[in-house]
Amino acid sequence: MGKKYLGLDIQNNALAAVLLNSRLKGNWIQAHAYIPFPEQTEWNSGLASALESLAAQFDVTGCVCIVSFPADQVYFRNIQVPFKHAKKIRQILPFELEPSMPLPVDRLIIDYLKIDIENAAENTELIAAAVDASRLESYLEMLSEFDIDPEIVTVGGYPAAVCLSLQTDIPANTLLVDITNDKGTLFGLSSGQLVLVRSVPSGSVASSRLKMLCQNIERTLYALDEVGSYGFKPDKIFLTGPVSAGNGFEAEMAQQLEIPTQQTDLIKDAAVRISNRPTESWKADQMDNALALALMEISGAKGLNFRKGPFAITKRWVEHKKRIIRSGVLAAVALLLLLTNITIDYYTQKNRLNALNTQIIDIFQSTFPDVKKVVNPLHQMREKMKEVQRASLFPAGA
């Protein structure tokens, strides 16, 4: 039957979902949907409406769920810390981020990615990501209303960057640009590892969107070169996101930045292969991020996950404590009854066996009263029967 993975890409104005069935013979896209939010509605109402529509289309029972939300709601920083051990990094990270965060660090959920650099000094390069804890809580509460409890909550576009990094035929320095209505998120890959994540504005006016986005890409790359201990100059740009296809973005961006540009298509290029091909309703620019969420979990890739601290997955023990204890007590009672039944049955059979052995000995002694010592009544009776048979065949004096 296989294991089911549900990738939910929550965007600012739409919800993309892919239900992937992973079997021994391959991975199958069981269902997919792109659900725009109703116009002129608040974000919470739009997401609730999209989730309601999704629940009517998908059976998510028993799914491993992976969720992403818009990258422009996450704060990203490239920093250096004087430690390499993960425990020490997590202890010092809030203090390192506090001066540059718009919110107090005790209101943030923080995760990070380590950047491994050859011949690096004692300092460790990190990409830190932080999200408002109250906003994350509202996400999880809304999802729980539709019986969705994600194993991973990460950043939109990030799983696509992870899947892209697993490909062996991409240039050493690659930039993935995830384009939504008025935002673009940049993911810089160097030798297969992530070295940059930034969300930049692209403007809401279609005619000037590309120009503004390209300008912000150039500024971001320049700033990274200034603050980082390494340079990053992309040899190729990949585009994804619901605004990236069908409007000449590839050719225009390649011309303005003078860098080769290509649209992503994970169905064709993913390191984790898909055994079936969806119908014409599949649009890579809309569905790649949702598909990447499921593929990332199947491939076992680890990365940014905001289910930490009060939102860690271990809190399920607290939520289901009473149910688990009740089930454990019932299981213990059932086991006790089973053991009691086995014990009673054992002693009943033992008493019956002892009674039969006593009856055998009584019959033997009444038949052969001259035998004073009874050790093995069956064997002794056979020997006595043989003696009687021999005596009857050869009577005395014959």
Rg of the Cα atoms in the chain = 35
pTM of the full predicted structure?
0.74
Query: Distance (Å, rounded) from C-alpha 256 to C-alpha 211?
Result: 8
Query: Distance (Å, rounded) from C-alpha 338 to C-alpha 255?
Result: 77
Burial of 278 (0-12, 13-18, 19+ CB in 10 A): middle
**What's the CA angle centered on 61, arms 58 and 66, to 5 degrees?**
80
User: Which runs of consecutive H residues, i.e. helices, occur in the chain?
Assistant: 43-57, 86-97, 133-144, 158-165, 206-227, 249-257, 266-269, 284-299, 316-319, 321-367, 377-393
Q: Could you report the average pLDDT of every consecutive run of 10 residues in the chain (398 residues)?
A: 87 90 80 88 88 89 90 90 87 90 92 78 85 92 91 92 86 90 87 88 75 89 67 87 75 90 82 66 87 87 88 62 77 88 88 84 78 75 77 61
Give Cα 130 distance to the centre of its chain.
20
pLDDT confidence of residue 384:
75
Pick the CATH number of 3-319 from 3.30.70.380, 3.90.120.10, 3.30.420.380, 3.30.450.20: 3.30.420.380
pLDDT confidence of residue 80:
86
* Residues in the chain, total: 398
**Domain boundaries, given as residue ranges, for the chain:** 3-319, 327-391
pLDDT confidence of residue 202:
79
pLDDT confidence of residue 245:
67
pLDDT confidence of residue 30:
85
